[in-house]
A and B are shown apart, each in its own frame.
Chain A
Amino acid sequence: MFIRLVKFAWKIICRNRRRTVITGLAVGLGLGSMIFTEALMQGMSAHMIDTTTESWMGDAQIHRNGFLDTRNINLIIKRPDSTLSMLELDSTVTSCTPRILSPASATSTTELKPVTLIGVDIETDPEVTMLEAAIDSGYYLSGDSTELIIGYKLALDLNAGLGDVIVITVAQAGSGLSSSMFFVSGICHFGNDNLDRYSAFVNLSAAGRMLGIQGEIHEIAVKFPQAEMGADTSLGFWNKFSVFGNTALGWPDLAPQIGSLLSMVDVSMSIMAAILFGLVVFGIVNSLFMSVYERMYEFGVMKAVGTRTGTITVMVILEAFWIAVISTVIGIAIGLLIIWITSKTGINFGDMEVSGVTINKPIFPVLTLGRVWIYPLSTLILTTAAGIYPGIHAGRLNPAEAMRKSL
């Protein structure tokens, strides 16, 4: 009987093909757009994470406890050599690089700007960051203690170009100030305001000398095989390197704005899905009610010849189920088609900046089956469920009244 009802319901929705196709397209377009938007958001998230971690931050960092909160230059990493040795031997770590960080001022012949002085280890830094690749003009650090790389925005602010003299002044670890003269050897462009406007990169040893902390470091940036590992709290890495008074943190903690943004994307997608599925449910209810009213006489006859209320309700729900199946197939096809097209070209956002990260490359949608399945499944369930109310209404029709009113 149930199989016959399923076939009966299929025949009924095929009776008014135009309406079925239009309803299926309407729901399918909504579903397709959700699938595509989800894939685009995944692509954008991946791009932002990659930009943030690959350009400079790394997937994780190790600091002395309290350093990130205070930026106190006296809070140097405890046992830096053994920590670096352990990192080199750790199988989860691809590469790592030590750094020195200090608030400083950069003075050109005409301007003075606040910056963060960053001492870079030229041997390991290229394995972790994009500093070398980000150099627009000039050259990367070679070990000369007077070399200085600045971002293009800072260069503009200081009215400085390649070869110009910049004086960097810092507060030393003990006491007193230290100033050194550098020559601009390179100008870089990261697409990140913090790095392009407020950072000055020098050789690690030069920074250590200026601060009076030779051989010490403030930060170790770490690269994992995949950026996602930086967000994996179950990784043994965090406990292993949060020792000796040091703390190891992944990119979600180091760049909370990215984590917040991803959460916001999730919430936005949920709200969009709720609105869309709400519209879908009302659309299907409306369509099924139209169908029920058109077939009032038929339902009257069905009841007259002995069809139970529940059977009629189930039949209308099965009609909704078939519409759901058609809509889901159409939606998946539309979503995959748009994803396929945009995955060829990407979508260019024209240097849009989000949470300090410039989206300066085309975004390619990323289809993550672990996340995207929820939309077709929701469409299938909610569209089918939308048949319950019209189904109950049809089942409860008084047969004589149904036949009388539809005459």
Chain B
Amino acid sequence: MTDNNVIVAKGIVKTYDDSGVPVHAVRGIDYTLEKGEFTAIIGPSGSGKTTFLNVLAGLDTPTEGKVWLSGNLISDMSGKELSDFRRDHIGFIFQAYNLFPVLTVEENVEYVMLLQGVPHAERHNRVMNILEKVGIAEYAGRLPMQLSGGQQQRVAVARAMVSRPSLVIADEPTANLDSKTSGALLDMMRQLNEDTGMTFLFSTHDEIVMRRARKIVILRDGKIDGKASPEEIK
């Protein structure tokens, strides 16, 4: 393990047993994500992408195996430490946007900074800066339901990045967007990756996302089935 590694996962197994019938979502994965990567995890539905991302982000506990986030072993952290770690180091983008419907765009974006205890003036400045960057500053006072899907996902991107995390994890970020909006969103995220050096890890089966990724990890039946470049996927 080197200082350049954001995530190191060893022997990850995740089995669900909700209905008495074990479902093996992830079947033994070793994986390393380095700083500054813009990597897509691809695979068909049910291949274990979301489960794998959840385990890597510390949202779910693996049945077997260990995960280190920025050198910290997740299983050694208390619930509070893990919450604080996610708050300070990881930005999340979810496929259904998942903005808080009762909060305005500005309130949604500043939420994580509120948890961090960032002072009000700084929060406001950073929110307006990131909203400028993602091109929706004029909607700061609107509620999510007053925005289009693409605009809502831009808010989600802004929320994920405003606290300046070292890693952004996005689960099917373009699943509910049309191809034009998806392309624009990915271009914007890639630009942010290049400008800030933040590490991005996506799960997707969207070709638009794959084409813009720098690295691609192929997941099939809960196992890594290979790695490829976007050109090879094409």
Contacts and interface: CB of A to CB of B under 8 A. Distances in A.
A15 B114 CA distance: 22
Interface string B87-129: 1101110101010111100000001101101000000000000
Contact of B84 (A302, A306, A399): A306
B98 A307 contact: no
Given A305-B111, A311-B115, A8 B103 contact: yes
Interface string A295-331: 0011001111111110100000000000000000000
Nearest to A9: B102
Contacts of A301: 92, 94, 98, 100
Nearest to B85: A306
Interface string A1-45: 100100010011011000000000000000000000000000000
Interface stretch (B2-10, B52-60, B192-200): B52-60
Given A301-B92, A304-B59, A403-B94, A309 B101 contact: no
A398 interface: yes
A309 B79 CA distance: 8
B211 interface: no
Grouping DSSP codes into helix (H, G, I), strand (E, B) and loop, the A interface class, with mixed when no group exceeds half, is helix
A4 B103 CA distance: 11
A15 B87 contact: no
Given A305-B87, A307-B115, A309-B79, A297 B60 contact: no
B125 to A, nearest CB: 18
A307 B163 CA distance: 14
Contact size range, B: 20 to 34
Given A1-B117, A400-B60, A307 B101 contact: no
Contacts, number: 71
A111 interface: no
Given A400-B54, A401-B60, A304 B92 contact: yes
B102 A309 contact: no
Contacts of A14: 102
Given A1-B117, A403-B94, A304 B57 contact: yes
B80 interface: yes
Nearest to A10: B102
A1 B113 CA distance: 10
Contacts of B212: none
B87 A306 contact: yes
B86 interface: yes
A400 B59 contact: yes
A390 B129 CA distance: 37
B102 A15 contact: yes
Interface string A51-85: 00000000000000000000000000000000000
29 contacts: A4-B114, A8-B102, A8-B103, A11-B103, A297-B96, A297-B98, A301-B100, A302-B100, A303-B83, A304-B59, A304-B94, A305-B92, A305-B111, A305-B159, A306-B84, A306-B85, A306-B88, A306-B90, A307-B87, A308-B80, A308-B115, A309-B79, A398-B59, A399-B59, A399-B60, A400-B59, A401-B60, A404-B50, A407-B96
Interface of B: 50-51, 54, 57, 59-60, 79-80, 83-88, 90-92, 94, 96, 98, 100-103, 111-112, 114-115, 117, 159
Interface of A: 1, 4, 8, 11-12, 14-15, 297-298, 301-309, 311, 398-401, 403-404, 407
